[in-house]
DNA sequence: CTTCTTTGGTAGCATGTTGCAACCGTTGTG
DNA sequence: CACAACGGTTGCAACATGCTACCAAAGAAG
């Protein structure tokens, strides 16, 4: 599916997002980028992914405007991969997946990595889906509308 | 990767979530479930996915506790697939992907489906990542901590 | 109760993608 | 200058995907 079936033409934003990211590896690359990974080798060691796959995914992410290839920050001749603004905008997606995982796939007390507020070292507040006037919304409180924007 | 490489043993909640969902089709199935699809045929027509793939994905999602197979609500002998509480907890993930897609992959004025507050018909508020004391957090304001919970 | 259609799959096969291991040029290091 | 590390590329085997055809059970029509 990754390369053959495309959702680009879908009018569902979820489908376009999914298509733009590419596959799960790509999402984990983005996660690592949020966690500070920048270099090819860092991603490779962290993920344990085959190098040819990593190469392909990094290329896709750069082509899709999620990552950007920049000169290495340490002055070496190598390059680094950093999140673009579009990539950083994936933050809520990663946080949402992280919180879902924490709540559903860890037994209480089981060790896991944790995303914390840098200033206070505290865990983040759980994401909330809110209406425009600030009410907390459950899935059942929402409905999908086919519209022309305008 | 979907079936061979497993992230189950990872201590990163994002990886476990990704592994639990399975693949992109599964996520789109979940999206459709949020949008009201319940029957095999509904998912199949909506997604255009091959039936054997859909069969496999539905099974995985049921096995993973995301969906549940229940008797059809219309009294027929067929079965329906509905979100479990764990599945409904994916709501912020879907909303986050949707908002990212809306903001990055549609030209202003381009038609797309929209998730609205059922009560008022308004668009949802953009998801915000917040600290425990309610400050809005950017990716750079956070850091990943390896901890033992407790 | 008989036939036709819909539903919800399964089976087999061609094709595409993934993962692995080996290789390789360039860059950094002692 | 030698040697290791980095960042890939290539080829191949194994696996997963997508397509089409097929099929049994259920529902609808008469």
Taking CB atoms and an 8 Å cutoff, what residues of chain B touch A112? Answer: 11-13, 147, 149
Protein footprint on strand C: which nucleotides are under 7 Å from a CB?
6-12, 16-22, 26-28
pLDDT of residue B4 exceeding 50, the answer is: no
Structure tokens at B15: 């990886």
Choice between B1 and A32, residue whose per-residue pLDDT is larger: A32
What is the rounded distance in angstroms from the CA atom of residue A60 to the CA atom of residue A86?
A: 14
Give me the residues of B, 82-121, that contact A with CB < 8 A.
83, 86, 88-106, 108-121
Distance of C1' in C2 from CA in B78, Å = 23
Option in B28, B132, B147 nearest A111 (CB): B147
The pLDDT, as a whole number, for residue A9 is: 57
Give chain A as a 3 state SS string. Answer: CCCCCCCCCCCCHHHHHHHHHCCHHHHHHHHHHHCCCCCHHHHHHHHCCCHHHHHHHHHHHHHCCCEEEEECCCCCCCEEEEECHHHHCCHHHHHHHHHHHHHHCCCCCCCEEEEEECCCCCECCCCCCECCCCCECCHHHEEEEEECCC
A147 pLDDT tier (thresholds 50, 70, 90) = low
pLDDT of residue B133 exceeding 50, the answer is: yes
Nucleotide nearest to A54 (CA to C1'): D8
Name the helix (H) or strand (E) containing B52. helix B51-63
The pLDDT, as a whole number, for residue B95 is: 98
What's the full length of chain A, in residues? Answer: 150
What is the rounded distance in angstroms from the CA atom of residue A21 to the CA atom of residue B100?
A: 11
């Amino acid at each position: 599916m990754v390369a053959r079936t495309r959702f680009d033409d879908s009018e569902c934003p979820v489908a376009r997002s999914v298509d733009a990211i590419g596959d799960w590896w790509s999402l984990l690359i983005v996660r690592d980028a949020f966690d500070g990974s920048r270099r090819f080798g860092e991603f490779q060691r962290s993920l344990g992914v085959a190098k040819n796959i990593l190469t392909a995914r990094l290329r896709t992410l750069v082509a899709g405007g999620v990552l950007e290839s920049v000169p290495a920050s340490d002055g070496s001749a190598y390059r680094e991969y950093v999140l673009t603004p579009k990539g950083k905008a994936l933050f809520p997606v990663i946080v949402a997946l992280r919180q879902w995982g924490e709540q559903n796939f860890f037994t209480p007390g089981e060790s896991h990595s944790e995303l914390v507020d840098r200033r206070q070292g505290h865990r983040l507040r759980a994401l909330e889906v809110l209406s425009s006037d600030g009410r907390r919304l459950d899935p059942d409180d929402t409905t999908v509308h086919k519209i022309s924007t305008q």
